[in-house]
Copies of this chain bind each other. A is one copy, B any other.
Amino acid sequence: MVNCAARLPKPILLMNLQRPSGRAPDQLRPITLERRFTRHAEGSVLVSFGDTRVLCTASVEEKVPGFLRGKGEGWITAEYGMLPRATQERTQREAARGGQGGRTMEIQRLIGRSLRACIDRAALGERTITLDCDVLQADGGTRTAAITGAYVALIDAINGLKQRRLLKRDPVVGAVAAVSVGVWNGVPVLDLDYAEDSTCDTDMNVVMNEGGGFIEIQGTAEGHAFRREELDALLVLASKGVADLCEMQRQALAT
């Protein structure tokens, strides 16, 4: 990633851009990762990306889904939820409505795939780790906060298994974090908050590992289709953001 910034197309960056939050275009919101937020789960992290706060718990169960039974492999899965008043207007509770909606399913599938990408499931053994990501307060970027926090909860849960000597070898093959990027008022910006997200032209969620490899890219042109140059600029921003987030994960896990 040494040369990435060099490839950032110059004309797009406006010097006088004023983000609603006053941040620089490539500046993350204040990030916190509070471990052991609740006490029952094997991993429990309250992650904040600014005003977005997501409680991520990792639960270890000594069983696997039917399609894996007897294969000697473990499973990592995720569920996502939003408290009804995490949002500006109250949204209906999905349990009361009778099921999870399309957006919820889309997000929890993304979280699950992302976390599976950093685990050697054979090394995990026949057990399941479920990552429950519940949004206490939403201000944009809940799915990227969820992935970033869930990784820390997952590591705590796996460390617990290691301490109890239940694993023969380390199943962790890398770190994973995620961030959103988008073109806002014509400028590529990092880590959109709700004010930006709801008015941006292009929105992309990028999941990467600590080595700069891409795990998931989901980009959507909200207003107009985005050009290859914009895409390149967004990927550079995302790489920088994820690198910073991985560093924060390391620090959080070191304490």
Per the 8 Å Cβ criterion, residues 86-110 of A in contact with B are 86-88, 90, 93-106, 108-109
Residue of B nearest to A79 (CB): B93
Chain B contacts of A87 at CB under 8 A? Answer: 40
Could you say which interface size class chain A belongs to? Answer: 35 or more
> Looking at the complex, which one of B93, B136, B138 makes contact with A81 (CB distance below 8 Å)?
B93
Q: Contacts A38-B137, A215-B225 given; indicate if A96 touches B79 (C-beta within 8 A).
A: yes
Q: In this assembly, does A144 line the interface, its C-beta being within 8 Å of a C-beta of chain B?
A: no
Identical chains bound together, number: 6
| A102 & B108 in contact (Cβ 8 Å cutoff) | yes
| Min C-beta distance of A127 to chain B, whole Å | 13
Q: In this assembly, does A76 line the interface, its C-beta being within 8 Å of a C-beta of chain B?
A: no
Most B C-beta atoms less than 10 A away, residue of A39, A55, A136? A136
> Looking at the complex, which one of B4, B95, B108, B136 makes contact with A55 (CB distance below 8 Å)?
B136
Q: In this assembly, does A255 line the interface, its C-beta being within 8 Å of a C-beta of chain B?
A: no
Q: Contacts A216-B220, A228-B235 given; indicate if A106 touches B104 (C-beta within 8 A).
A: no
| A95 & B81 in contact (Cβ 8 Å cutoff) | yes
| B235 & A213 in contact (Cβ 8 Å cutoff) | no
**Bound complex: CA of A181 vs CA of B229, how far in Å?**
20
| Min C-beta distance of A56 to chain B, whole Å | 10
Residue of B nearest to A87 (CB): B40
Which one, A12-20, A22-30, A204-212, is touching chain B? A204-212
Q: Contacts A109-B102, A132-B84 given; indicate if A51 touches B39 (C-beta within 8 A).
A: yes
Q: Contacts A94-B95, A102-B109 given; indicate if A85 touches B41 (C-beta within 8 A).
A: yes
**Bound complex: CA of A225 vs CA of B246, how far in Å?**
15
| A217 & B204 in contact (Cβ 8 Å cutoff) | yes
Q: In this assembly, does A155 line the interface, its C-beta being within 8 Å of a C-beta of chain B?
A: no
Known: A105-B105, A214-B225, A216-B219. 18 other contacts (CB 8 A): A40-B137, A40-B138, A57-B83, A59-B90, A79-B84, A79-B93, A84-B130, A85-B132, A95-B95, A99-B99, A103-B109, A105-B106, A113-B220, A212-B227, A214-B221, A216-B218, A218-B218, A231-B235
